[in-house]
Structure 1
Amino acid sequence: MSIVYKCRHCGHEIGKLNQQVVDTSMLGWDRLSPEERQEMIHYQSNGDVQIQTICENCEESLGTNPHYHELDYFIQ
């Protein structure tokens, strides 16, 4: 099982944890609301867990262009 962190905007793989056992509270998942968990955490058919997050480049783009928050996708 791997936990794969991907940017929700550009799809870039930010990081990957290859662990069989993971304490999800150490990853901060216990601080997410049920809605946030449903939106961010996706279980794959191969057993991997994909976490939708934001990379530094997309975060910077959103910071300098706040109107991008209104768009579903801002990277073409």
Structure 2
Amino acid sequence: TGEFLGEPLTEYIDTFVSVGGVAYGMEWCPKNLPACNMIDGMVCDSEYMMEINQAMARYEGENSFAIYSR
């Protein structure tokens, strides 16, 4: 989305652990709900989801792990 949130925290973070969440968006997300809008919503093809999943480098942390289930 282009906002500058400050300098990277990478040098202070060794390991980042993510639990749950919608890292790739929600498959069923009615676009009439505010949380599913096409700008910063949880729908798979929102501008926000497309941007964070195209990053060529990690955002923060030397290591990162995700805990999820299917």
For normalisation by structure 2, the TM-score amounts to 0.27
Structure with greater proportional strand content: 1
Structure with greater proportional helix content: 1
